[in-house]
């Protein structure tokens, strides 16, 4: 990070030094440079940083909209309540399980599919386009599609296919699964994996295609096997792309609300933190506690985000070399 910061600083110091001799001097030059940046910066601080500061303050307050007269300082009460409450603790656990499962499975699938798409075959462009499509379905629409058209125990496609396949073998007694009730979290995860695999695949495919092909060809001519090429050349090159895809995916999936809200409405033990916060705030109007839960999510995200930012800055440094 520091290296990346220092380089432009030296450059701009030189530029400033050059203009220092004549006219208005470096100060006005610096402001001329800053000016185009300010609107975006101010807009963003007002709309994202200020609300968060208010959330932070509220998280230490006793504030329920149903009991406005009891508003006051609560110390760490909200945090104690959030962290000792069984429902919230389960929500934290659900969030971790959901995020880890979705990210890891779609990363693995995305890697396999990216490797397949990196080869030359007939209709590769069409397959690539087909693969991207799930990511481009509006998330709510995708959740509705999975809930009603695929999972529905009476007429959903999954049970319909079971009936059709069993029917082929002359059986009138096909297994019929109530997918959402019997495996609620897996049901949500499957729909999210379907949507996020294309995302992982796209980033990993771009990574694969940025490999130095001449080096790999040389290795192949020297008799390296496909596995050796993958293990010692492709994989190390792909590592940072895997990290980037995984971390960006994690940041989006941790915040997932649409799928939990649509498929199970947070029931059957699938309520994750964003949904719990929504509920605490929207139904229970417990502002203090919702804020404390929000702060917990932020702390969790900061941990992931620190790694994400580090990965992005590594890629960033390499690119600007």
Partner 1 sequence: MSTITDVAPVPATRTRGGEPRQKRRERAGALLGVLAWVIGLLFIAPILWMLLTSLHTEQDAATNPPSIAAPLSLQGYREFFGTDPWPSLLNSMTASILSTVLVLALAIPAAYALSIRPVKKWTDVLFFFLSTRMLPAVAGLLPIYLFAQYVGLLDNIFLLVLLYTSMNLPIAVWMMRSFLVEVPGEILEAASMDGAGLVRTLKSVVMPIVSPGIAATALICFIFSWNELLFARVLTSTAAQTAPVFLTGFVTSQGLFLAKVCAAAVVVSLPVLIAGFAAQDKLVQGLSLGAVK
Q: Residue from 14, 21, 72, 221 that binds partner 1 (CB under 8 A)?
A: 221
For partner 1, the binding residues in 252-281 under the rule CB under 8 A are 254-255, 257-258, 261-262, 273-274, 277-278, 281
Q: Residues 114-153: x/- map of binding to partner 1 (CB under 8 A)?
A: --xxxxxxxxxxxxxxxxxxxxxxxxxxx-xxx-xxx-x-
Q: Which two tokens stand for residue 35?
A: 């000016």
- Least distance (Å) between residue 265 CB and partner 1: 10
Buried b (16+ CB within 10 A) or exposed e, 94-122: bbeebbebbbebbbebbbebbbebeeeee
230 binds partner 1 (CB under 8 A): no
Rounded CA gap, 286 and 259, in Å? 24
The SS3 of residue 160 is: helix
- Least distance (Å) between residue 70 CB and partner 1: 17
Using the rule CB under 8 A, give the single segment among 84-92, 97-105, 181-189, 244-252 that binds partner 1.
244-252
The SS3 of residue 11 is: helix
- Least distance (Å) between residue 132 CB and partner 1: 7
Using the rule CB under 8 A, give the single segment among 67-75, 76-84, 97-105, 202-210 that binds partner 1.
202-210
For the beta carbon of residue 241, count every other beta carbon within 10 angstroms.
Answer: 21
- Least distance (Å) between residue 21 CB and partner 1: 19
Compute CA distances 105 → 98, 101, 122, 155, 164, whole Å.
11, 6, 27, 28, 29
90 binds partner 1 (CB under 8 A): no
For partner 1, the binding residues in 37-66 under the rule CB under 8 A are 37, 39-41, 43-44, 47-52, 54-55, 58
Q: Which two tokens stand for residue 224?
A: 């390296």
What one-character-per-residue DSSP string does 79-142 give?
HHHHHH-HHHHHHHHHHHHHHHHHHHHHHHHHHHHHHHHTS--TTHHHHHHHHHGGGGS-HHHH
For partner 1, the binding residues in 157-196 under the rule CB under 8 A are 157, 159-161, 163-164, 167, 194
- Least distance (Å) between residue 275 CB and partner 1: 9
Q: Token pair 């490999």 is at which residue?
A: 211
For partner 1, the binding residues in 11-30 under the rule CB under 8 A are 11-12, 30
Q: Residue from 69, 227, 282, 321 that binds partner 1 (CB under 8 A)?
A: 282
278, 258 Cβ separation under 8 angstroms: no
Q: Residue from 210, 212, 215, 225 that binds partner 1 (CB under 8 A)?
A: 210
């Amino acid at each position: 990070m520091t290296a990346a910061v220092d380089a432009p600083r030296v450059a701009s110091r030189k530029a400033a030094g050059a203009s220092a001799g004549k006219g208005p001097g470096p100060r006005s030059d610096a402001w001329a440079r800053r000016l185009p940046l300010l609107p975006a910066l101010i807009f963003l601080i007002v709309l994202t940083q200020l609300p968060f500061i208010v959330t932070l303050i509220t998280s230490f307050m006793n504030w329920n909209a149903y009991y406005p007269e009891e508003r006051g300082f609560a110390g760490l009460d909200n945090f104690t309540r959030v962290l000792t409450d069984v429902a919230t603790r389960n929500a934290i656990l659900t969030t971790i399980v959901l995020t880890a499962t979705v990210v890891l499975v779609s990363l693995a699938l995305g890697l396999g599919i990216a490797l397949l798409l990196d080869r030359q075959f007939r209709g590769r462009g069409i397959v690539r386009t087909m693969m991207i499509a799930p990511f481009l379905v509006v998330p709510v629409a995708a959740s509705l599609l999975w809930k009603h058209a695929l999972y529905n125990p009476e007429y959903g496609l999954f049970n319909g296919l079971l009936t059709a396949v069993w029917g082929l073998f002359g059986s009138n007694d096909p297994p019929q699964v109530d997918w959402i009730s019997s495996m609620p979290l897996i049901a949500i995860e499957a729909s999210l994996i379907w949507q996020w695999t294309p995302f992982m695949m796209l980033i990993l495919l771009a990574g694969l295609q940025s490999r130095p092909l001449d080096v790999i060809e040389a290795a192949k001519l020297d008799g390296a096997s496909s596995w050796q090429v993958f293990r010692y050349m492709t994989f190390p090159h792909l590592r940072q792309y895997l990290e980037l895809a995984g971390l960006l995916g994690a940041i989006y999936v941790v915040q997932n609300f649409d799928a939990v809200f649509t498929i199970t409405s947070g029931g059957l033990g699938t309520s994750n933190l964003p949904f719990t916060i929504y509920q605490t705030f929207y139904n229970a109007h417990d502002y203090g506690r919702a804020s404390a839960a929000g702060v917990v999510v932020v702390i969790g995200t900061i941990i992931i985000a620190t790694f994400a930012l580090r990965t992005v800055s590594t890629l960033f440094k390499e690119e600007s070399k």
